[in-house]
Amino acid sequence: MKHRIVVLGAGYAGANAAGRLAKRLHPADTEITLVNADPEFVERVRMHQLATGQDLKPRLLTDVFAGTGVRVRTARVTAVDTEHKTVALSDGEIAYDTLVYALGSAAADCGVPGVAEHAHHIDGKGSALRLRDRLAALAAGGTVLVVGGGLTGIEAVTEIAEARPDLEVSFAVRGGLGAWMSEKAQRHLRGTFDRLGITVHEDTDITSVGRAGAMTADGRAIPAEVTVWTAGFAVHPIAAATTLEVSETGQIVVDDTMRSVSHAGVYAVGDAALARGLNGMPLRMSCASGVPTAYRAADAIVAVLTGGSLPENKIGYTGQCVSLGRRDAVVQWVTPDDRPKDSALTGKTAARLKEIICKAAAWSISHPTSMLPARRRRVVPAEQPVTV
Ligand SMILES: Cc1cc2nc3c(=O)[nH]c(=O)nc-3n(C[C@H](O)[C@H](O)[C@H](O)COP(=O)(O)OP(=O)(O)OC[C@H]3O[C@@H](n4cnc5c(N)ncnc54)[C@H](O)[C@@H]3O)c2cc1C
């Protein structure tokens, strides 16, 4: 019987893992199924672009994986049973021998009243399209507030302000604007926010969101016809409902090979995994972590099944790319353990680099088995000892 590998989620992490597995394992021994709720690959890093009226290239997963040996199943995952090694889907059930869990993350309201009812999100295609409709319906002079000072919030607020200079756009951040970046990057950020006319509310804690805007911890009201909440992301509760060891955040706790510390046949990658980086801190939720974790898991699975050696060393970083509309960006160079260096790339050159990185990430999904030498290894039967 073939070894059944089931990959849950076809985002940056899951799709890359499936492609790499298909290239490295012999189809006579293995069966790889990729399960995803959406029939298309969604370029999540461009959701702020989708929300501001730009159209994204459609990439049907069945087309992308045609001829690769990966079977695509469009279905929603509803539960995982790690004892019986089955996954419950909206259209039935699927059994696995090895599971790769890559269901990503979604916006979280962080317990702030009114966010669920009144705020918009840009965590996926559905929410981005709803925001797109809402923004398109706003008349000149309309007010928009973006909450959350992280990378997603900065990208969203600058994209909205650039696309709709006729709107009054404001931004609420808990600390200082881009406080995690170098001085050079922060200076550039401030210049860009001034140029785009964005009002920044620093050191501001939003305590509730309503139909007409948000309230702050110090009792101020920030008026907004549209509030966009980017202040928190959380993983799906599916993993936490299993016997898998999960962190307080609900992420699956994995070792350096992305293997669950509690279940040897389960791997977790991307936003859904809690893996530690060079500084001992959890890897940040990002494509910059998701893609390497996918490669790491695929290589580890191949090693375990075929008797190769397990990948070593921890995942490190080089930079953090933040778009500021279509013609401007900041690339903050970081140390491998993710601390900002003094240097940063800014302006048009940074925007070009960011675009190249986004395109490369999407290209690797659209060509899942390209660029890798075809070394389809045979699976070592279970009764034979495997060197790991
Ligand atoms: C607007 C925006 C901009 C960003 N910009 C950057 C950036 O510039 N750089 C960067 O590194 N990161 C960026 N990120 C973060 C990055 O997008 C995520 O960290 C990355 O997508 C995580 O990859 P993933 O594969 O783990 O999850 P995802 O890309 O979210 O993929 C998860 C997949 O699982 C599927 N899925 C979810 N639930 C189910 C279910 N129950 N059943 C079946 N399928 C399901 C989804 O449809 C999706 O295909 C950005 C995020 C946003 C929202």
Residue the block writes with tokens 């890359």 = 16
Q: Are 355 and 349 in contact (CB under 8 A)?
A: no
Give 375's pLDDT tier (boundaries 50, 70, 90). low
What confidence score (pLDDT) does residue 386 get? 47
Residue type, 170: S
CA-nearest of 316, 302, 321, 303 to 360 is 321
Buried b (16+ CB within 10 A) or exposed e, 93-117: ebebbbbbbbbbbebbbeebebbee
* Best of 34, 228, 229, 286 for a ligand 1 pocket test (most atoms within 8 Å of beta carbon): 286
Residue 194 CA to chain centroid, in angstroms?
A: 29
Q: What's the burial of 218, exposed, middle or buried (CB within 10 Å: 0-12/13-18/19+)?
A: exposed
Distance 44 CA to ligand 1 centre (A): 5
What confidence score (pLDDT) does residue 311 get? 83
Hey, what are 167's tokens? 């709107």
Residue 38 CB less than 6 A away from ligand 1: yes
Residue 290 CB less than 6 A away from ligand 1: yes
Distance CA 133, CA 317 (A): 36
Ligand 1 atom with least separation from CA of 105 = 30
Q: What is the mean pLDDT of residues 110-139?
A: 97
Q: What angle do CA 98, 45, 33 make, to 5 degrees?
A: 20
Residue 291 CB less than 6 A away from ligand 1: no
In percent, the amount of the chain with pLDDT more than 90 equals 90
Give 371's pLDDT tier (boundaries 50, 70, 90). low
Instruction: List the single range of 19-23, 175-179, 384-388 with lowest mean pLDDT.
Output: 384-388
Give 387's pLDDT tier (boundaries 50, 70, 90). very low
Residue 10 CB less than 6 A away from ligand 1: yes
Hey, what are 163's tokens? 């696309």
Distance 104 CA to ligand 1 centre (A): 5
What confidence score (pLDDT) does residue 367 get? 87
Query: Dihedral of the CA atoms 76, 80, 85, 90 (nearest 10)?
Result: -30
Ligand 1 atom with least separation from CA of 77 = 42
What confidence score (pLDDT) does residue 212 get? 97
From residue 132, give the alpha-carbon distance in Å to each of 135, 143, 165: 5, 14, 15
Hey, what are 388's tokens? 């790991």
From residue 318, give the alpha-carbon distance in Å to each of 27, 103, 281: 35, 25, 16
Write a three-state SS string for 262-319: CCCCEEECHHHEECECCCCCECCCCHHHHHHHHHHHHHHHHHHHHCCCCCCCCCCCCE
Residue owning the nearest CA to atom 6 of ligand 1: 45
List, for residues 256-302, the tens digit of each pLDDT value: 999 999 999 999 999 999 999 988 899 999 999 999 999 999 999 99
